Amino acid sequence: MDNAPELTLMMILTIGSGVLAQVIANYFKLPSIVFLLSFGILCGNDGLKWVRPQDLGTGLEVIVSLSVSLILFEGGLNLKLQDLGKVSGSLRNLVTIGGLITLVGGGIAAHYFSEFPWQLAFLYASLVVVTGPTVINPLLKNIGIDKRLATLLEGEGVLIDAIGAILAVAVLNVVLNRDSSAIEVAEGLVSRLGIGGAIGIVGGVAPGGIFETIAVFSRRHQKLRSPSHGIRVSGSCPVPRERIGLNHSSTDGDHGKGSCHP
């Protein structure tokens, strides 16, 4: 850990430049991705070389994975299921047929225009299928468009990330395992999807159940504390709050007998 101070300084510069890019974007009312990319180029290996991701070693993959998870989680929180239901058909076509067209078209274009080998061309195409909330959401905040279209683009930006990741892993497995059979590649892909899906379901259902239970108890607690509900005296009859203490002035001698008086 001899380079711990340098790594700490690099992380501070990375976070600081990202925050500065967001502030400048908000000031000029421009998409933040423009300034984030500019600051990344300026501070990275092609610029001042203040930020050197290769120095993080294997930690870079962990940081990127966590960052992508946070981005998708934040994008998913902004989605409204009721609004998505209105554009479900268009959204389904956009992330399936649209993604397939982008994959095939991008692969052909990369092969003929950039002269990539077919395998690398389709690997590149699987990467450009993704739009992502980091690109879509800042644009939508600065462009006044119809709410229905904005909802459709937001949903596509979040959902296509997962589909793009699956495509990228599948194509990469084919590229790296040229000698493997299609069955072996498919088994590896299915196992990853199964494990990831199981973790996602457990991680979503369990917190959802906990939050729902907390909400139920909270509503019951508020209901019990509501002034419209009576307070039971001696375990017998409910007495409204505003009538508590009236029996203290009673002279009929029936205190504590458990009877209810109007």
Q: How confident is the model at residue 112 (pLDDT cuts 50, 70, 90)?
A: very high
The pLDDT of 113-140, averaged and rounded, is: 85
Residue 10 is part of which domain span? 1-57
Asked if the model's pLDDT at residue 123 lies above 80, the reply is yes
- Report pLDDT for 214: 87
Q: How confident is the model at residue 111 (pLDDT cuts 50, 70, 90)?
A: very high
d(CA 176, CA 16): 37
Asked if the model's pLDDT at residue 247 lies above 70, the reply is no
Domain annotation covers residue 260: no
- Co-location of 20 and 125 in the same domain: no
User: Last residue of a domain, which of 42, 57, 72?
Assistant: 57
Domain annotation covers residue 6: yes
d(CA 207, CA 215): 12
Mean pLDDT lowest among 39-43, 81-85, 124-128, 151-155? 81-85
- Report pLDDT for 202: 87
- Co-location of 66 and 172 in the same domain: yes
The pLDDT of 180-185, averaged and rounded, is: 73
How far is CA 114 from each of CA 107, 110, 249, rounded to the nearest angstrom? 10, 5, 96
d(CA 32, CA 12): 19
Provide the domain count of the chain: 3
- Report pLDDT for 109: 93
- Co-location of 48 and 134 in the same domain: no
